[in-house]
Amino acid sequence: MDVIRSRAFEFIETVQQLSDTASVLDAMGRMLGQYGPDQFCCAYVAPLSTEAPREAVLAHRLPPGFLDMYSAEQFVWDDPALRYCKTTLRPFRWLREAPFDPTREPRAVELVRRARDFGLRDGVMVPIASPANRIGQMFFGGREIDLPERDLPALHLMALYAFDRALTLRGQPEARTLALSLREREVLTLAAIGRSTEEIADALTISARTVKAHVKSCCKKLGATTRTQAVMIAMRDRIISP
């Protein structure tokens, strides 16, 4: 098993025991520090109309002064990465992969410049469809992130758990769960150890279409929007044990 994947499962085992959001970020730092991230932010993509921008942040470890500047300048409304979170469910490179037009979006250009002034030159952002029915994100940043694309699924899983724990510590509602069938648990267990749809189908002697139907059912029962999130919830609630 790859080191990053084993670290992800180690993180999953410990994060539910943590009693405050600072400890959650400490755990992320210990797991990922060697890959470059030393700045973290767990937040909703946008504040509610009744919230100040800072209230959308669940937990963070960003450079001193950065969040004050970001909030004062109201960059939340011009941040191309937050906008991109609303269109994808996959982890992506912060700003590098979030499209924007430098000519027509000078505020986005200014955000990139100001972020670099604070040492935020690289990062990964993980969109999260939270059980609170709001789009969230987990950001991992620093001067340079050395994390291969093949390791992003493990990072995704860790981000989902970190966000979920931060929500719980903030007293936010969790997703309602329903019992999964034996076959549904088998499908999610195989998904949790990295098997593809086709590999799950071969292992269980069913069609890929049936695998997808089971995953869809799991997502509906667990209040998840993706297979990865369904796996995370099932592991958190001890429904499966890969």
The residue among 89 and 3 whose pLDDT is bigger is 89
Residue 11 near residue 28, CB atoms below 8 Å: yes
d(C-alpha 78, C-alpha 138), whole Å:
18
Beta strands in 35-153 (DSSP E): 39-44, 57-61, 92-93, 122-129, 135-142
The region, left, alpha or beta by phi > 0 then psi within -120 to 50, assigned to residue 238 is left
pLDDT digits (tens, 9 = 90+) for 106-161: 999 999 999 999 999 999 999 987 766 678 999 999 888 888 888 888 888 889 88
pLDDT at residue 186 is higher than 90: yes
Looking at residue 89, its pLDDT comes to: 79
What is the rounded average pLDDT for all residues in the chain?
Answer: 88
What distances in angstroms separate CA 179 from CA 129, 183, 217, 234, one per listed residue? 21, 12, 11, 10
Angle value at C-alpha 192, between 84 and 17, nearest 5 degrees: 85
Would you state the structure tokens that stand for residue 32, as one six-digit string? 């990922």
The whole-number average pLDDT for the span 224-234 is 85
d(C-alpha 155, C-alpha 150), whole Å:
10
Looking at residue 128, its pLDDT comes to: 87
Would you state the structure tokens that stand for residue 73, as one six-digit string? 């300048």
- Residue 213's SS3 state is helix
Kindly state the percentage of the chain with pLDDT values over 70: 94
Looking at residue 1, its pLDDT comes to: 47
